[in-house]
A and B are shown apart, each in its own frame.
Chain A
Amino acid sequence: GQNIDQPTEMTATEGAIVQINCTYQTSGFNGLFWYQQHAGEAPTFLSYNVLDGLEEKGRFSSFLSRSKGYSYLLLKELQMKDSASYLCAAMDSNYQLIWGAGTKLIIKP
């Protein structure tokens, strides 16, 4: 079956670095997405990886290892506004997104 696993909740301190891990199992693979979702709002696109390695975009970076079925989202210089849920989603062979349950990130001052 198809499955995405990510931690339910993480806590970090303002200004610090946090890594949110995601493992996936899908029928075929066409890339791994990370979305950010603030409470009561729709998800917004953060990153996309289809090749192995690290993609850096400002304070956010995303890593993919296809052989391990593993990805992580790295957030640097955390700000209070980064408090949100982070959704990992893998695209299968039918170009359908398989969603994780999301990781709620709590930032403390």
Chain B
Amino acid sequence: GAVVSQHPSRVICKSGTSVKIECRSLDFQATTMFWYRQFPKQSLMLMATSNEGSKATYEQGVEKDKFLINHASLTLSTLTVTSAHPEDSSFYICSARDLTSSYNEQFFGPGTRLTVL
């Protein structure tokens, strides 16, 4: 099956620093990747849709200047949390859609747990 990796799996940083999270589709090309955020005991919240070679589409209420998304290749998308603050601490999950699959389902990376001190 399709595999999506995410790096790092866990990061702790100081307030005011920037953190980059990578999402890679390992065995398929992903023209579209999605970035989600999940707070404890809550459901997934879509932050943005990342399309290869074009600007990401952000959901309402998500600051595009704070959460920078780059999807420079068909297998890699990055999310940079700029000037992170404690309220940005969350579980960030990426997913990629494999258009060759029968179901168009999204395959999820293992997630990145961000803790901002």
In the bound complex, CA of A82 to CA of B44 (Å): 20
Interface size class of B (residues with CB under 8 A): 10 to 19
Q: Is there a chain B Cβ closer than 8 Å to A24's Cβ?
A: no
Which of B46, B103, B108, B109 contacts A31, CB < 8 Å? B103
Residue pair B110, A42 in contact (C-beta under 8 Å): yes
Can you report 22 A-B residue pairs in the complex whose CB atoms are below 8 A from each other? A31-B103, A31-B104, A33-B103, A41-B110, A41-B111, A42-B108, A42-B109, A42-B110, A43-B44, A43-B93, A43-B108, A44-B108, A45-B106, A48-B103, A48-B105, A95-B97, A96-B46, A96-B49, A97-B46, A99-B44, A100-B43, A101-B43
Q: Is there a chain B Cβ closer than 8 Å to A91's Cβ?
A: yes
In the bound complex, CA of A43 to CA of B107 (Å): 8
Chain B residue nearest in CB terms to A44: B108
Chain A residue nearest in CB terms to B49: A96
Instruction: List, in ascending order, chain B residues with CB within 8 A of A31's CB.
Output: 103-104
Instruction: List, in ascending order, chain A residues with CB within 8 A of B91's CB.
Output: 40
Which of B43, B49, B93, B103 contacts A42, CB < 8 Å? B93
Q: Is there a chain B Cβ closer than 8 Å to A87's Cβ?
A: yes
A24 to chain B, nearest CB (A): 14
Instruction: List, in ascending order, chain B residues with CB within 8 A of A45's CB.
Output: 105-107
List B88-105 residues whose CB lies under 8 Å from chain A: 91, 93, 97, 103-105
In the bound complex, CA of A48 to CA of B106 (Å): 11
Q: Is there a chain A Cβ closer than 8 Å to B60's Cβ?
A: no
Residue pair B106, A99 in contact (C-beta under 8 Å): no
In the bound complex, CA of A21 to CA of B97 (Å): 25
